Amino acid sequence: MNKTPIVVGITQGDMNGIGYEVIMKALSDSEITGFCVPVVYGSPKVAAYHRKVLNITNLNFNNIRSVAEAHPKKVNIINCLGDDVHVELGKSTREGGQSSLAALEAAVTDLTAGRIDVMVTAPIDKSNIQSGSFRFNGHTDWLKSKTGSHDALMLMISEAMKVGFVTEHLPLKDVPGAITIGNILAKLRLLNSSLLQDFAIRGPRIGVMGLNPHAGDSGLLGHEERDIIIPAITRANEEGIFAFGPYSADGLFGSGAFRQFDAVLAMYHDQGMGAFKALAFDTGVNYTAGLPVIRTSPVHGTAFDISGKNKASGLSMRQAIYSAVDIFRNREMHEEINRNPLQPQKIEIYPEHVDELPPETENYDQAL
């Protein structure tokens, strides 16, 4: 397995939000440069502005023009923006969205070309980033498009739990129509595969939530569980996926029963996200599973309301960096194991001479 430091590309997110604050607080940990090479995609000018506003004195950026110039023991930054850039803390602006996209485009180009190993994204504003080249509900769908992937899974990860989603940023009124056997089965396959290769979990167990209150209450509160979710679970079981359910969200999370599973699959965004953030808001990580590349991010948003006030925590960003590196290493190990599987050994058995040694070893004791 490759032991060279992993190059971590970190995008600035919306420059008017808390992106630079959480990046700088996370990278102020001196241990970071001990196991990875951080490369921030953004603007040295904007970074300097945020450093001054936040009075962060224990971090310096190494300005570079390309990843090839990155110093392995420093926090590097590539300028993706022009010099005429204006920060307006706490405001959602068109320039903020354009700068977010510029950093993302530069980073994903290097990621798909193999110049960086993983990508960690600071929060964007999904409204101001919309443009002719970005018409998506968030990073996940954009990355699917950029990598030519048919599907992906938004997977929230923490020490406490892992939660995947059948539907993601979808209006609640549209959720029932998107809950199909095919969609659930596709997400279960992605989740199972990710648990195996990205998290090195053998024989992962997945708890599947219902759609309706009390998981339909035997049909009294809806038939989606009986007609769609249970058949999807059955088909997953037939494929060797250890999926169980459906479970009601209040029972699964309220009783702590989610701890019996390696991951949980929620039907829609708020069903799983509320419980996850209640337990892991500061340390949770958003991971885009099912892509050929690795991308993580903190679980929080741009937090315009506290931008520039030195109130944001860098813990989730730091954990996003750690998680990206861990997933990269786990994928390497998984690929290596599959390249060199243990070969089956032929063993001869002599049923009529159970008390005797095979001929070639019968004099073994005498030779000692």
Q: Is the pLDDT reported for residue 19 higher than 80?
A: yes
What pLDDT is recorded for position 193? 97
Domains 1-149+291-340 and 150-288 alike in fold: yes
Q: Is the pLDDT reported for residue 223 higher than 50?
A: yes
Say what the pTM is: 0.88
Q: Is the pLDDT reported for residue 314 higher than 60?
A: yes
Domain positions in the chain: 1-149+291-340, 150-288
Helix (H) or strand (E) holding 156: strand 153-157
Gap between the Cα atoms of 284 and 161, Å rounded: 9
**Residue 294 exposed, middle or buried by CB count within 10 Å (0-12, 13-18, 19+):** buried
What pLDDT is recorded for position 362? 43
Q: Is the pLDDT reported for residue 366 higher than 50?
A: no
- Of 200 and 138, the structure prediction assigns the larger pLDDT to 200
Question: Is 3.40.718.10 the CATH number for 1-149+291-340?
Answer: yes
Mean pLDDT across the chain: 91
What pLDDT is recorded for position 363? 43
Question: Is 3.40.50.10490 the CATH number for 150-288?
Answer: no
DSSP letter string over 265-291? EESSHHHHHHHHHHHHTTT-EEEEETS
**CA 50 → CA 98, 297, 298, 309, 310, distances in Å?**
18, 20, 19, 10, 10
What pLDDT is recorded for position 138? 84
Q: Is the pLDDT reported for residue 112 higher than 50?
A: yes
Q: Is the pLDDT reported for residue 295 higher than 70?
A: yes
What pLDDT is recorded for position 165? 98
DSSP-assigned beta bridge partners for residue 265: 164, 208
What are the pLDDT digits (tens) for 183-216?
999 999 999 999 999 999 999 999 999 999 999 8
**CA 252 → CA 1, 272, 325, distances in Å?**
39, 10, 30
